Structure 1
């Protein structure tokens, strides 16, 4: 029960902060106007490019699933986190920017994806190939999104866009490297134990 509540709280926090950061990073929003040209606006722009991306929402559900531990709890917590994040995002958007909402559409998308991604997060704890593939999901998803749909809202590259892309690529490489390293370390340990037991 505690992990379910944690998933809801984490999702609400993630969704609300993403909406606020988007508003702060935009010179066209009331919140962002007063920060235009400051270091805070630049930082908000980088955070906006990082948080308002599909891979980061997927990472939320995966992280919650990993914390839940089992596949069933992982599925439930992953779905709860994405649903809570979606509701919080659009409720916050309504207050900070008066924007319209397509919340129902994203709830219908978030629920099944949250279930699947929560299971993926729980599967990271598994040894062997299952754990490796699960651990590679977010890094590979981030890399694919960077190739197919990079965070470039403008035709020209800005320092914020470049920094966001460097952060994503670095995190994707480090995440994939950690997953592969863990897999090979576990495999070597298992082979070593087999030799000890047979010899």
Structure 2
């Protein structure tokens, strides 16, 4: 009985450490994503000649394209989904996996919002505060939207149709945003962004569906195979 209790305690302690490690990793991913987005925004502005009418109407740079891609709604949502998927690796319980994915994604997006605000303040020379009304709004959105996005990421590890739909969320969402609200300050930037996102989304969807079909065929019982 004592050995069994010790084993249960060790197992519980090991799981707690693993969960804390996963949450710490989620914070690191979110902070890195937010900082990278702020850095690319600042870099794109440094390459932009906004006083030039020609550049304003049709100019672009590689830094600006990367900035537009990172600072899009689908990319931030994708960060939450990816974190939810990453932290649930090896988690046996579906319910616990959903809770862990939701919590980790919310924390990651909060960290991303804070890191983004700090990065913007640094790029602005400290003239604006790193936390203001915008950060409060996006921080609230990180909690409200981050939790379901993380749960979707956890579902992406599930087999079956539900797992397939979860895995398709990011590429489909990205493609839809390019139709409804394409990012970019002029038509050229928007066109480049659309081409990149639509191409990546189409390839991702094709690979995800193909992998699902192949996996389903391999998992059929031997008796059902011709």
Output the TM-score relative to the length of structure 1: 0.85
CA 1:194–1:73 in structure 2 vs 1: closer, same or farther (change >3 Å)?
Answer: farther
> Displacement, 1:144?
0.8
Match of 2:103 in 1: 76
TM-aligned CA distance change 1:42 to 1:99, over 3 Å: farther
For residues 96 and 48 of structure 1, the distance between their equivalents in structure 2, rounded to whole angstroms, comes to 14
Which stretch of the first structure deviates more once superposed, 186-195 or 73-82? Answer: 186-195
Q: Which position in structure 2 is the counterpart of 1:94?
A: 121
Structure 1 runs not aligned, ≥5 long: 27-31
**For residues 193 and 122 of structure 1, what CA distance do their matches in structure 2 show?**
30
Deviations 1:65-98 (A, max 9, x none): 1111122211111111101001111121122124
CA drift at 1:192: 4.6
2:35 corresponding residue in structure 1: 16
Say if 2:182 and 2:190, in contact at 8 Å, map to a contact too: no
Aligned Cα root-mean-square deviation (Å): 1.9
TM-score normalised to the size of structure 2?
0.75
Secondary structure of the 1:150 match is coil
Deviation at 1:23, TM superposition (A): 1.4
Pick from 184, 187, 194 the counterpart of residue 165 of structure 1: 194
Q: Give the equivalent residue in structure 2 for 1:186.
A: 215
Deviation at 1:99, TM superposition (A): 4.6
Question: Are the counterparts in 2 of residues 15 and 84 from structure 1 also a CA contact under 8 Å?
Answer: yes
Give the secondary-structure state (helix, strand or coil) at the position aligned to 1:191: coil
Partner of 1:25: 44
Q: Structure 1 residue 42 and structure 2 residue 74: aligned?
A: no
Structure exhibiting the larger radius of gyration computed from Cα positions: 2
Taking structure 1 as reference, are residues 94 and 143 closer, same or farther at Cα in structure 2, changes over 3 Å only? same
Residue correspondence of structure 1 range 49-128 to structure 2 within 5 A: 49-69=68-88, 70-97=97-124, 98-99=127-128, 101=132, 102-128=134-160
* Pairs within 5 Å for 1:120-159: 120-154=152-186, 157-158=187-188
Structure 2, unaligned stretches of length 5 or more?
Answer: 1-19, 50-59, 89-96
Report the Cα distance in structure 2 between the residues aligned to 1:121 and 1:194, rounded to whole angstroms: 33
Counterpart of 2:52?
none
SS, match of residue 61 in structure 2: helix
* Aligned residue pairs, count: 184
- The match for 2:26 is 7
